[in-house]
Structure 1
Amino acid sequence: MRRSRILLPIFGLFGASTAGAADLDVTEFKTIAAPVPYTSAPSWSVVGSIAPTFTDNALFTRDNRKSDVYYVPDVSVRLDGNLSNDLSYRLYARAQYEAFSREKDGNFAVARMGGRLTQNWDGWRFSAIYEHRYDFDGIYRDLAFTSNDVMGSVARDFRFNNATFSPLLLLTYRFSDLAEARRWRFDAVLGIEVKLDSKWSIVSTPLFEAYWFTDGLNSGRRDQLYSADVGLKYNFASNVSLTTTVLYEARTSNVPLRRYRDVRIGPRLDFAF
């Protein structure tokens, strides 16, 4: 069992869909509703979510498919400020984990800290991000590897009547003390929100991810991930919402073992204070 837990991060965790989805938080790249003037002091906030979820492929494998329920607490502490009217920064620390009810081999956790600098230009947002992270086997039990992610992104919001479309392009390179975790990653995401009234919205976040692994046993591995979902969102307040989502995901790879499909269903409670 110990050997299987060592191999799990090498061959799956950092390339698995759960890790990918957890890495990418589209709300991180949205505009602030009321930008703080650059002469104002920076502001602190606590942002997070908790999401109990059913999956029909708990270990994200091609052959050994097992259904299970897991939950995902995800909490960030942020410091936001502006260097000018169109140049903002964010410093943050973030902790999250996935805990399965039965398939404990799927448990993992991530702790990270980083910073982001965003330039607004004619409605577009260009960001440079650095993130230092620790990936754990189990719930903060055994350290699997550490890494440094360097990212660049471009994003914008388009509003048409009661609908908002938020495309995002993100490119990442990961440096790591584990050779198998070093890779390039490209994300293309489209956030969609259609307001039904002041409380209810229909939401969706289709995405495409591509991975190019560069070193170790994963050298030459190429993965592509496709995901589509639809959800119903209810806003209790401006800073608290509940979204119930049905998601389908498929991964292709030139390594047959890493090909799989997955269906996930569950609610997610989001909060910000």
Structure 2
Amino acid sequence: MRPSGFFLPIVALLGSGTAWAADLDLTDFKSSGAATSSYAVPYYQAPSWSVVGSISPTFTDNALFTRDNRRSDVYYAPDVSVRLDGNLTNDLSYRLYARAQYEAFSREKDGNFAVARMGARLTENWDGWRFSGIYENRYDFDGIYRDLAFTSHDVMGSVARDFRVGNATFSPLVLLTYRFSDLAEARRWRFDAVLGIEVKLDPRWSIVSTPLFEAYWFTDGLNTGRQDQLYSVDLGLKYNVANNVSLTTTVLYEARTSNVPLRRYRDVRIGPRLDFAF
């Protein structure tokens, strides 16, 4: 549940796990352009700026992400990042970024939320694998950048790789995060296991899917001992409008289990997503 400011005291106990599947985008963990030479020699490439983002009007049958008070609605979700990518050696790349995203609901305004973050990532490419260390300073807002709910410092480590089999690309990712926060109830460990799947039908059309598993272990405050697990599976059809623009229409099912009964829910989402990079 993503409630309004009136409910923030309740959020401390029940809803401070505000990182949803939308937080995790496999494109964030793709190679940032490091040289592909296998020789460990100094390599330098001028850093490059880019603007990467998406916009996705989406229907959901559980706008407040609750177990019992299910309400259908449509929400609008822009997500834009400004990135600076560069290389330190032929196998070691870095990224500095600022990212803003929010979800604005048509009717259920209590579901509105926003996030602003700045971060840095260092990635070592080794024999096709990408090992990353990430730091992110995050600000979670109640409403659309209305009231600051809490501030966090996320420290992350990830391992990722792409496998190509015929026309299919499989992109597994494992990510472990610990969140430090000024709100005790938001402090937690988080584990993500994701498999990106893309099967090309022709140069423009692809079938895509991103099954995902997340586990949360909360460590402090009223959430001490709380454990959540989130499962999602989706199926989509992607159309490459250009090399840097794509449109994907997806159907997604998500379910959360928890040892706190009120945190359990299920959700179905349907909608298009326009991705761009400049």
Q: TM-score range by the shorter chain?
A: over 0.9
Structure-2 residue corresponding to 1:249: 254
Structure-1 residue corresponding to 2:51: 46
Asked if 1 retains the 8 angstrom alpha-carbon contact of 2:32 and 2:85, the reply is no
Q: Report whether the alignment pairs 1:27 with 2:32.
A: no
Shift of 1:242: 0.3
Shift of 1:66: 0.2
Quick one: distance in 2 between partners of 1:43 and 1:8?
44
Shift of 1:12: 4.9
Asked if 2 retains the 8 angstrom alpha-carbon contact of 1:49 and 1:271, the reply is yes
Shift of 1:31: 2.4
Structure-2 residue corresponding to 1:62: 67
Shift of 1:9: 3.8
* Aligned with 1:115 (options 115, 120, 145): 120
Structure-2 residue corresponding to 1:209: 214
Quick one: distance in 1 between partners of 2:220 and 2:244?
42
Structure-1 residue corresponding to 2:203: 198
Task: Give the paired residue count.
Answer: 271
Structure-2 residue corresponding to 1:6: 8
Structure-2 residue corresponding to 1:233: 238
Q: 1:87 to 1:251 in 2, by over 3 A?
A: same
* Aligned with 1:262 (options 267, 271, 278): 267
Shift of 1:219: 0.6
* Aligned with 2:90 (options 85, 88, 96): 85
Q: Equivalent residues in 2 for 1:119-134 (5 A)? A: 119-134=124-139
Shift of 1:23: 1.8
Quick one: distance in 2 between partners of 1:149 and 1:172?
7
Spell out, residue by residue over 1:167-208, the C-alpha distance to the aligned partner (whole angstroms, 9 max, x if none). Answer: 000000000000000000000000000000000000000000
Shift of 1:8: 5.5
Shift of 1:33: 6.4
Q: 1:14 to 1:159 in 2, by over 3 A?
A: farther
Amino acid across the alignment from 1:93: A
Asked if 1 retains the 8 angstrom alpha-carbon contact of 2:215 and 2:229, the reply is yes
Quick one: distance in 2 between partners of 1:206 and 1:101?
27
Q: 1:260 to 1:159 in 2, by over 3 A?
A: same
DSSP-derived class of the 2:80 partner:
strand
Larger mean CA deviation between 86-95 and 36-45 belongs to: 36-45
Larger mean CA deviation between 49-58 and 23-32 belongs to: 23-32
Amino acid across the alignment from 1:55: T
Q: 1:133 to 1:79 in 2, by over 3 A?
A: same
Q: Report whether the alignment pairs 1:151 with 2:156.
A: yes
Quick one: distance in 2 between partners of 1:67 and 1:225?
20
Asked if 2 retains the 8 angstrom alpha-carbon contact of 1:5 and 1:137, the reply is no
Structure-2 residue corresponding to 1:272: 277
Quick one: distance in 1 between partners of 2:149 and 2:36?
39
Shift of 1:10: 2.4
Shift of 1:3: 6.4
Quick one: distance in 2 between partners of 1:175 and 1:32?
27
Asked if 1 retains the 8 angstrom alpha-carbon contact of 2:81 and 2:100, the reply is yes
Quote the sequence identity (%). Answer: 83
- Structure 2 unaligned runs (5+)? 38-42
- Structure 1 unaligned runs (5+)? none
DSSP-derived class of the 1:7 partner:
helix
Q: Equivalent residues in 2 for 1:158-197 (5 A)? A: 158-197=163-202
Asked if 2 retains the 8 angstrom alpha-carbon contact of 1:234 and 1:242, the reply is yes
DSSP-derived class of the 2:9 partner:
helix
Quick one: distance in 1 between partners of 2:199 and 2:95?
28
Structure-1 residue corresponding to 2:40: none
Asked if 1 retains the 8 angstrom alpha-carbon contact of 2:4 and 2:143, the reply is no
Asked if 2 retains the 8 angstrom alpha-carbon contact of 1:91 and 1:116, the reply is yes
DSSP-derived class of the 2:62 partner:
coil
Shift of 1:39: 2.0
